[in-house]
Structure 1
Amino acid sequence: MCGVGSMPDTLNEAILKEILQDRPFQFFPQVDSTNDIAQQWILEGAPTGAVVIAEEQLAGRGRLARKWYTPPKQAIAMSVIVRLEDVQFLSRIMMAAAIAVAESLRNYTHGITLKWPNDVLLNGKKVCGILAESQWAGDLFLGAIIGIGLNVRVSFADTELAERATSLEDHTNKSVKRAHLIASILENLDRWLALLRSDKLLAAYRENLITLGQEVSISVGNKIITGRAIDIDGEGALLIELPDGVYQKITVGEVR
């Protein structure tokens, strides 16, 4: 199905102020990385829930040091500040963000799932990537920056990504206004961050995680680990049953 794209979908400071109301935000027509700006802002005292939004992002960061380009008027690029005292909850912040995005996308379409650790899939293809980065001031842990990159109407036709990536408007008949989608994601994120220490968060993440129960190959450094994904632990690590029956915990890697 093709999305409804005939009406303009504009992001600017006035529209975001109306939609986001009292939430602190910074908007930029173009940036290198929203995460970089958010990292500086948290050092200056920005509160939890403050968000940096860009129309175009030239050098966004993905997992495993990948670069991510966000074309203007076609996607959402934003970074959310989360103040936190305990660094061990960093992975749970990522879970909360992934669930929040998934819930918002289900207002537009079906087929939304999560792939460990941080990809949101739409009918099996990546529609959104999430990166949670810790932020320190010397030895003092300040919290995390959650970077969210979501394809709304990016065209992957005739590109090498066509088999792996997709956009929301390719799967809905609803008109997608990015400002409203941003607000929805942030509202959901607020709710899940309030449950950061709760088993409800882990249960919701497991429920959405398509990786569990699957035979997987995971790139970990220069190695490929193959096995069956059994579960996640309280910090989001993936438990794999290897072919010899031994269990292995994976904290960092990419499911292929």
Structure 2
Amino acid sequence: MRLNQEKIETALNVARQQPYLPFSLHLYDRVNSTNQTLWQLLQSGAPSGTVVIATQQTAGRGQWGHQWVSETGGLYISTAIALDLAAINSYQLTFATAWGITRQLQKCNIPVGIKWANDLILNKRKLGGILTETKISGSTINRAVIGVGINWSNPVPETGINLQSWQTLNNITSIPNLENLATQALLGIEFGIECLLEEGIDVLLPRYTHLLTNIGNSVYVENHLGKVMGVTSSGYLHVRMEDSESKSVRTPDFYFQPGTISLGYSNSSN
């Protein structure tokens, strides 16, 4: 499946009167990993703003070392960002990207939400995910590669959903092809990163939290029932535990780093 680079560039030019990120597109039919390919380009002198887009990955990676199945027909895109951000705040890049893409898809009448910390959710199923990788100097991130995978027409597992089939079932044509999806994803990345770097996490975090699908959901932690309350300014998930014998008695609240608790794809998790 070959993407039309001219279509994407033309759509970006129409949509962006004052570009914030200097996108330079590199399109491939198949790569081992868009993040890995982009890092190789950067090592060869490619500037920040370089973008790698593919429709298949043979060795895609997800968060926390998980494999990302990346069959033909999906959108796999990585963007290089130059910045000056404390290393402990790397989660902010993922939050910004998730929020920006979600808002952009919502503008296209796609009711996407966010599952903490980095998944795009449609009809309670996984539409896409984000993998942020960084280069650190001292205690500061000076370069990041933000990888995004979104299901378009590719096969998906039971917990997944692809956008082309969803649009057909719902008689929606706001995103007509993969080139348009790539354009919307890039606009969303730019939208989110600009918000973070220009307005800060205090502005971004409430916007991100507002789009979370997990708020109020039940979650079990060590066989005790809790409820998702929100996300802290450090990116931790806030869970309020309920006493197993009396729900009126609250035990101390718990805070979980990304990757330390699974929320699943339903109204409750184990």
Report the TM-score when normalising by structure 2.
0.78
Partner of 1:177: 177
Partner of 2:208: 205
Partner of 2:125: 125
Residues 2-41 of structure 1 aligned to structure 2 (within 5 Å): 10-20=2-12, 23-41=23-41
Distance in 2 of aligned mates of 1:18 and 1:48: 20
> Is the deviation greater in 124-133 or in 141-150?
141-150
Residues 1-256 of structure 1 aligned to structure 2 (within 5 Å): 10-20=2-12, 23-72=23-72, 74-86=73-85, 87-136=87-136, 141-156=141-156, 161-162=157-158, 164-172=159-167, 173-174=172-173, 176-196=176-196, 197-217=200-220, 226-244=225-243, 245-253=251-259, 254-256=262-264
Letter in 2 for 1:69: V
Distance in 2 of aligned mates of 1:166 and 1:107: 19
1:165 shift after superposition: 0.7
> Is the deviation greater in 224-233 or in 235-244?
224-233
Which consecutive segments of 4 or more residues in structure 1 shift more than 6 A? 137-140
Letter in 2 for 1:113: G
Counterparts in 2 of 1:10 and 1:226: CA distance versus 1, 3 Å: farther
- Work out the percentage of aligned pairs sharing the same amino acid: 25
Unaligned runs of 5+ in 1: 1-8
1:77 shift after superposition: 0.3
1:247 match: secondary structure: strand
Question: Which structure would you say has the larger RCO, counting Cα contacts within 8 Å and 6 or more residues apart?
Answer: 1
Root-mean-square deviation over aligned CA pairs:
2.5
**Would you say the 8 A contact 2:34–2:147 is kept in 1?**
yes
Letter in 2 for 1:150: I
1:203 shift after superposition: 1.1
**Would you say the 8 A contact 1:57–1:70 is kept in 2?**
yes
**Would you say the 8 A contact 2:101–2:187 is kept in 1?**
no
> Is the deviation greater in 114-123 or in 138-147?
138-147
Report the TM-score when normalising by structure 1.
0.82
1:187 shift after superposition: 1.9
1:23 shift after superposition: 2.0
Distance in 2 of aligned mates of 1:52 and 1:225: 44
Letter in 2 for 1:124: K
Counterparts in 2 of 1:230 and 1:104: CA distance versus 1, 3 Å: same
1:30 shift after superposition: 1.2
**Would you say the 8 A contact 1:49–1:190 is kept in 2?**
no
Count of aligned pairs between the two proteins: 238
Distance in 2 of aligned mates of 1:19 and 1:224: 50
Distance in 2 of aligned mates of 1:128 and 1:224: 29
**Would you say the 8 A contact 2:101–2:192 is kept in 1?**
no
Counterparts in 2 of 1:195 and 1:101: CA distance versus 1, 3 Å: closer
Distance in 2 of aligned mates of 1:205 and 1:141: 22
Unaligned runs of 5+ in 2: 14-21, 244-250, 265-270
> Is the deviation greater in 169-178 or in 242-251?
169-178
Counterparts in 2 of 1:37 and 1:109: CA distance versus 1, 3 Å: same
